[in-house]
Amino acid sequence: MSNGLEGVIAAETILSDVDGERGRLILAGHDVEELALRSSYAEVCALFLGGTAAEAAAALARGRALGFERLSKVGDALEAADGMDALRAAAAHLPSAAPALEVTGALATLAASWARRQSGHKPLAPDTSLAHADDYLRMVRGDAPAEKARALDAYLVTVIDHGMNASTFTARVIASTGSDLVSSVVGAIGALKGPLHGGAPGPVLDMLDAIGEPARAEAWLEAEVTSGRRLMGMGHRIYRVRDPRAAVLERALERLESSGLRSGRLALARAVERSAEGVLAKKHPDRALKANVEFYTAVLLDAVGLPRTLFSPTFAVGRAAGWCAHVAEQRAHGRLIRPASRYVGKMPG
């Protein structure tokens, strides 16, 4: 038995490959570094789901409009205090037969509308002439400065897919029963919410705030680990080296800073990462625990002006196209996913 299904191959896929020993992530035949810093989210959606980039951009825009139209039908879903609870509940109101990229586009509007309401503002209608990342940023903040939208676009591409991670597996399990796409996406949002998966970036920013300055990092991190708490944004089930997505997001942050916008926390994040590696290496000398994607996600999403409560929903906004592509693959080639369990309970009589 493999506890946590570690090392078990549950599907064949042409969508992504995670090489944990070398720290390499391939997305639809391209290295993540190449796609994230050069391609738009719509271009990568087209690689994952077919069609041209222009068609993908138009479908995402239709989806953003669909999300806005659905706001009147989601009841009190967007009043939830937690962004992932709100997104999960609101996404459940999308039409179950909606096409993949329209579901993907709609999540951006639902997430942005939740954030607007949280800050006491009315949701903003999408501008379907804009690129997906630009419009998402605009729907949250009211404006979308070009360099910030470019950094957010790089983030959305970076997280679009990542092998058989927990939320993608959830989406595929649901699809394998013959259920609909929206059910798969709603289930995947539930899986992504947990702190061991997509719930970490907000707490990473809390950690950076609590540490405040590089000189305090080591003592703060030591105290956390000694008290049995996990350092958010560190460690990974597959990677035994630094998560390549951390490097991509760090590059996107450098690009943002070189355009004259200070991210505010990049230098601190680098110092904390170095200390965290050292503290974890002392505590777990046999297990390499390095920065994962969530570490620099926190710094990047903060730098582009998203509130930390929106970090996990934004992860879902980016990952949605990957979930949808896996659902399509599962439907085309998969079989009902139904593992077995070993009974270790009492026997009757």
Give me the helices (H) in 27-178, please: 32-38, 41-49, 53-70, 83-91, 100-118, 132-141, 146-158, 166-176
The residue from 102, 224, 273, 294 that is catalytic is 294
Our answer to whether residue 30 is catalytic in this structure is: no
> What's the min distance (Å) between Cβ of 292 and ligand ACO?
4
Cα separation, 162 vs 180, in Å, equals 22
Among 134, 161, 277, 294, binds ligand ACO (CB under 6 A): 294
> What's the min distance (Å) between Cβ of 239 and ligand ACO?
9
Beta pairing partners, 234: 291
Q: Examine residue 282 and tell whether it contacts ligand ACO (CB under 6 A).
A: no
Residue whose C-beta lies closest to ligand ACO: 235
Task: Indicate the helix (H) or strand (E) that contains 19.
Answer: strand 16-19
Footprint of ligand ACO on 190-229 (CB under 6 A): 195-198, 200, 225
Among 231, 248, 253, 324, binds ligand ACO (CB under 6 A): 231
Our answer to whether residue 284 is catalytic in this structure is: no
Among 141, 236, 242, 290, binds ligand ACO (CB under 6 A): 236
Hey, what long-range contacts does 119-126 have (CB within 8 A, 24 or more apart)?
119/307, 123/68, 123/71, 125/68, 126/61, 126/64, 126/65, 126/67, 126/68
Start-to-end CA span in the chain (Å): 27
> What's the min distance (Å) between Cβ of 35 and ligand ACO?
17
Taking CA atoms, 92 is separated from 62, 80, 98, 184, 308, in Å, by: 18, 14, 12, 10, 23
Give the binding-site size for ligand ACO (rule: CB under 6 A): 22
> What's the min distance (Å) between Cβ of 63 and ligand ACO?
23
The residue from 162, 236, 250, 329 that is catalytic is 236
CA 349 to the chain's CA centroid: 49
Our CB check for ligand ACO shows the closer of 41 and 295 to be: 295
Contact criterion met (CB below 8 Å) for 14 and 28: yes
- Between 151 and 180, how does the x/- string for binding to ligand ACO read (CB under 6 A)? ------------------------------
Among 237, 255, 270, 274, binds ligand ACO (CB under 6 A): 237
Structure token pair of residue 274? 């170095």
Structure token pair of residue 258? 């070189």
Footprint of ligand ACO on 262-281 (CB under 6 A): 280
Q: Examine residue 318 and tell whether it contacts ligand ACO (CB under 6 A).
A: no
Among 53, 97, 32, CA closest to 252:
32
In the complex, the residues that contact ligand ACO under the rule CB under 6 A are 4, 195-198, 200, 225, 230-237, 280, 284, 287, 289, 292-294
Active site residues: 236, 294
